[in-house]
Structure 1
Amino acid sequence: MTLPSSPFETVYGAVQPLDWLCLAPHPDDAEIGAGGTLIRLARAGRAVGVLELSRGESGTQGTPLERAAECVAAAEIMGLAWRGQLGLPDGGLADTPAGAQALAATLRAVRPRVLVVPHHADRHPDHFGTYSLAKRAVHLAALKKADVPGEPHRVSRVLLYQGNADIRANLLVDVGAVMADWEAAIRAHTSQFSGAYISETVTPEIIERRKGRLTYWGTLLRVRYAEAFETEEPLLVDPERL
């Protein structure tokens, strides 16, 4: 199967090599799960991107057009270098050969050094489906003989961000200095967070709920707020910096 050279749609910024890329099953997932870290990196001059795997077309609130506009507004607040949408089916994200080839082609196009993906411990099938799909796509993107457009690219590090379930985090990031922008980026998704209570995620209480989680992780670091990640591979640490 030969895919077009650009299986994704750019909704903000320009295609370019990225330092960090966050995969989001739906619009707003990146902001909720890793937004503070992405904002902090962008402020530090890193090229940061977000890729929505779906357009959120099956969500109870908001249309794909409305949600794309919200993604643009949030990207401006966060200082993203690029934001794109892959257009895979909302509610059907899974490890499929076609989906993995499309995602691998995108990884070859934007060439992230660090990839951030949803944790597999999650109640939402699209979230753990994205995790499995990403694992295959990372492998494909690096294979010289894979039937994927673009030059092979090897992601240096994959980090998992927290969704709707507890995780055993082994990497915490202090995000206290960027909380105002984090809140603004989430609130940019007006269709999801200004209407009726739909779920523990789609609710006007999203900021309050997620701040509680960030406060918990921050307590472990003796800071106000922290975002939690898990790495499945050991991290090399310079003992002189401990």
Structure 2
Amino acid sequence: MLVGMAFETVFGRVGRLDWLCLAPHPDDAEIGAGGALIRVARSGGAAGVLELTRGEGGTQGTPEVRAAECVAAAAVMGLSWRGQLGLPDGGLVDSGAGARALAEVLRALRPRVLVVPHYRDRHPDHFGAYHLAKRAVHLSGLVKAELPGETHRPARVLLYQGNADITPNVLVDVSGVQDVWERAVLAHHSQFSGLAVSETVTPEIVERRRARLMYWGTLARVRYAEAFEVEDPLLIDPVSL
């Protein structure tokens, strides 16, 4: 644990990030936004992941095993930083204490783009993470908030697909990084080997999620695409269309 920090670094070093993905549990970032994070890293940008919990409530794996898997996946993806906030697995809610801890991370890492779980999800931790992130973004930008560091608000917040269908308005071409994405997902060996526990914790995870990527890719006229939703309108240069 870094002295004076509310979070733990498990990979890389604390620094300004272009993209930061919030994951309720280890492996959620890879499954929902891994291809985009890999593309950011490969373009020379700084991409990071923050696990909000250590996944201690999961049926398979221990927090120690899952942290080691996070490190392995981060190396595969080329992340600049990965950390854990240590909030309770199964108990992610929009709380003042959790929001202050997350806001401290946002001020320390200063991400330009923040990627959070979609609120339309069957898992309570996923929609809890969405609401927690909304409060933390607001708190991080308040001058009078009793938090260390300078105020910061991400320029853009993207919502990524978890366990439920969404209606995306942003698609990212991830066709060229599918092999890296697969290796990053399967680095979470404790979750994706052995017996299937759910539609997510299953050895079929790559096959199932790739089918989604191919569907969104069809709509974008590319082979594979990751789907995101923005709640605020995007400003587009008409010349770039």
TM-score > 0.5, shorter chain as reference: yes
C-alpha displacement of 1:160: 0.2
Gaps of 5+ in 1: none
Superposition pairs of residues 1-242 of structure 1, within 5 angstroms: 5-242=4-241
Deviation at 1:155, TM superposition (A): 1.2
Equivalents in 1 of 2:194, 2:44: separation in Å? 35
| Structure 2 gap ranges (5+) | none
Partners of 1:173 and 1:64 lie apart in 2 by 31
Task: Give the secondary-structure state (helix, strand or coil) at the position aligned to 1:192.
Answer: coil
SS for the counterpart of 1:10 is: strand
CA RMSD of aligned residues (A): 0.7
**Shift, 1:5, TM fit:** 3.4
Asked if structure 2 preserves the Cα contact closer than 8 Å seen for 1:5 and 1:105, the reply is no
The alignment covers a number of residue pairs equal to 239
Calculate percent identity across the aligned residue pairs.
73
Within 2, Cα distance between the matches of 1:32 and 1:155?
A: 22
The alpha-carbon deviation at position 127 of structure 1 amounts to 0.2
Q: Deviations over 1:149-184 (max 9, x none)?
A: 211112111000001111110000000000000000
> What per-residue deviation string (whole Å, max 9, x for no partner) do you get for residues 73-127 of structure 1?
0000000000000000000001000000000001101110110000000000000
Matched AA of 2:149: G
- DSSP-derived class of the 1:152 partner: coil
How high is the TM-score relative to the length of structure 1? 0.98
